[in-house]
Amino acid sequence: MTAERLSMRKIKEVLRLHAAGRSNREVARNVAVWHSTVAEYLRRAELAGLSWPLAPELNDSELEARLFPPTAPSQVARPLPVWSEVQGERQRKGVTLQLLWLEYKEAHPDGLQYSQFCDHFRAWKGTLDLVLRQEHKAGEKVFVDYAGQTVAVVDRDTGEVREAQVFVGVLGASSYTYAEAGWSQELPEWIGAHVRMYEDFGGVAAVTVPDNLRSGVRHACFYDPDINPTYQELATHYGTTVLPTRVRRPRDKAKAEAGVQLVERWILARLRNHTFFSLGELNHEIRRLLVDLNNRPFQKLDGCRRSLFETLDRPALLPLPATRYEYAQWKKARVNIDYHIEVDGHYYSVPYALVRKQVEVRLTSSSVEVLHDGRRVAGHVRSRRKGGFTTEPTHRPKSHEKHLEWTPSRILRWAADTGPSTAALAQRILADKPHPEQGYRACLGLFRLGERHGSDRLEVACFRALRIGGTSYRSVKSILQKGLDRLPVEEQGSLALPEVHENVRGPAYYAEPTAGGEAC
């Protein structure tokens, strides 16, 4: 193997130390090179008739010329491989440059040696554009991003103009390109575009490389970017790995930027004079021009994007899963004292033991799943009814034992300490719910209003609320915010408690259990 090319300063130091009687290994340690390199330069100096000290008139250029004289050109023209074919074969999984050289030597025993083979290949690659020079294995990566250019879509009825965003995906090995238009770059559009892209490819790349777009990456970090949970779930479903581009590393996304540029030049620019009245019309034209783009011949390589896709990427892609990914959102929620969590204004129950714990919520269009410590603890059909409750009976405690922090009787005792109107309103709130725990939130809200406005004002507000039939937390809050509790009211006699009917529980219902200990 040829020794590494050293600077003239180091070569002079090698000659000086050798002349001083140092061994090759000692010289190598001093100059920080391999001892074989030292031996190679001493051999070259001997062949050139050079010894230390060098002649003063010998400059660095002349020294280099004598140590490295130009080799005489070979009289025999050696056959060269087709380098574009070498490049294409090298992108196949497991294929190395050394293997390709061995196959070349089998066909041409008098051909290039391995080092010459590599030098010629590198020189040929230097003539290609940056994007074409990057090496990507077949089926390994797909690069995704949004185009900077948008497309206007006109509402036929109102004349309103909306700007459509254009999603672009590019496979690494073949540069095969996918594009579609959507209304935004928000998470639902981002996820849906990925699903349709994978289906267009007929398979999934092992690695999906997004730019640090907010929809896919919640926190951009050079070393450990935080992937959006929904995006991570999509990756798990399709068996791909999300590997965002590194911050301030433009070469990481060169393939995506080149694909975006091609889409803007060969698709969006050609549509600049078109007027679109729906997203469907726009995507129909994008798909039509996308066929032309992928069939356009390369300028510096054989074939086109589609031909390389069929021979390189498509056979190497991971298979699509049996089912399509269903879009899901992830949220965090804290379990209230009524063992329910609030999602989009509706309340869903979880096991009572999780009161005050933080849980993760997975939302689809039809279901709500609740997870704690990575384990599924509850599942419900999704409801759109604001203020409603979805309660699983098994989530309720079997009895209100003394270790429970909040019980109906404790709430009523607190309300009675504030005043009879507050107690009556609290009892009405608890009685109006299918399960008393569903009234905990409203009663707890009354408690917070008392802390904020004072017990006296709360009692007057509850009295007015009962009088006008506004038996809810919202009514009391409105009375206090508007200062209606400060207005004069007619004196009333004893306050009438709620009528007894089948939905009103008597005092016995709220009595503390006596078995197992005293009441809390």
pLDDT (average), residues 294-319: 87
Question: Is 484 domain-assigned?
Answer: yes
Between CA 23 and CA 297 the distance in angstroms is: 60
Per-residue DSSP letter, 91: T
Q: How many Cα neighbours within 13 Å face the side chain of 240?
A: 30
Question: Do 154 and 224 fall within a single domain?
Answer: yes
The stretch 139-145 carries a mean pLDDT of 90
Q: Flag whether 515 is in a domain.
A: no
CA distance 500 to 89: 85
Statement to judge: residues 385 and 412 lie in one domain: no
Nearest to 238 by CA among 167, 146, 149, 321: 321
- Statement to judge: residues 453 and 357 lie in one domain: no
What the block records as the tokens of 32 is 């920080």
pLDDT tier at 72, thresholds 50, 70, 90: low
Least confident among 76-90, 143-157, 170-184, 341-355? 76-90
Domain range for residue 379?
Answer: 329-395
Residues 237 and 347 in one domain: no
The pLDDT tens digits for 10-51 are 888 888 888 888 898 888 888 888 888 889 889 988 888 888
For residue 519, tell me if it sits in a domain.
Answer: no
Does the pLDDT at position 390 exceed 80? yes
Question: Do 113 and 166 sit in the same domain of this protein?
Answer: no
Q: What DSSP assignment string belongs to 466-510?
A: HHHT--SHHHHHHHHHHTGGGS-----SSPPPPPP-TT---GGGG
Of the three residues 316, 342, 364, the one that is the final residue of a domain is 316
pLDDT at 464: 86
Residues 419 and 480 in one domain: yes
Is 324 part of a structural domain of the chain?
Answer: no
Which band of pLDDT confidence, cut at 50, 70 and 90, is reported for residue 290? Answer: very high
The amino acid at 201:
F
Q: Is the pLDDT of residue 438 over 50?
A: yes
Let me know if residue 199 belongs to a domain: yes
DSSP secondary structure code for residue 513 in this structure: P
- At 202 the pLDDT is 95
pLDDT of residue 500: 42
Please give the average per-residue pLDDT across 363-389, as a whole number.
88
Residues 161 and 251 in one domain: yes
Q: Does the model's pTM come out above 0.75?
A: no
Same domain flag for 503 and 460: yes
Asked whether residue 135 carries a pLDDT value surpassing 80, the answer given is no
* Buried b / exposed e along 429-467 (16+ C-beta atoms within 10 A): bbbbbeebbbbbbbbbbbbebbeebeeebbbbbbbbbbe
Domain check: are 290 and 204 in the same one? yes
Among the three residues 346, 373, 395, which one is the final residue of a domain in this structure? 395
Residue 502 confidence (pLDDT) above 60:
no
> Token pair 């783009």 is at which residue?
293
- pLDDT top residue among 237 and 256: 237
290 shares its domain with 426: no
Q: Which residue has the higher pLDDT, 312 or 98?
A: 312
Task: Return the HEC string of 183-251.
Answer: CCCCHHHHHHHHHHHHHHHCCECCEEEECCCCCCEEECCCCCCEECHHHHHHHHHHCCEECCCCCCCHH
Domain count, the chain: 5
Q: What is the pLDDT of residue 73?
A: 55
- The answer to whether residue 432 sits within a structural domain is yes
Residues 483 and 364 in one domain: no
Same domain flag for 150 and 206:
yes
d(C-alpha 289, C-alpha 429), whole Å: 63
**Is there a domain that residue 1 lies in?**
no
* Domain endpoint, select from 259, 286, 316: 316
State the alpha helices, DSSP H only, in 20-146.
Answer: 24-31, 35-47, 60-67, 83-90, 97-107, 114-125, 130-133
Q: Confirm whether 257 is domain-assigned.
A: yes
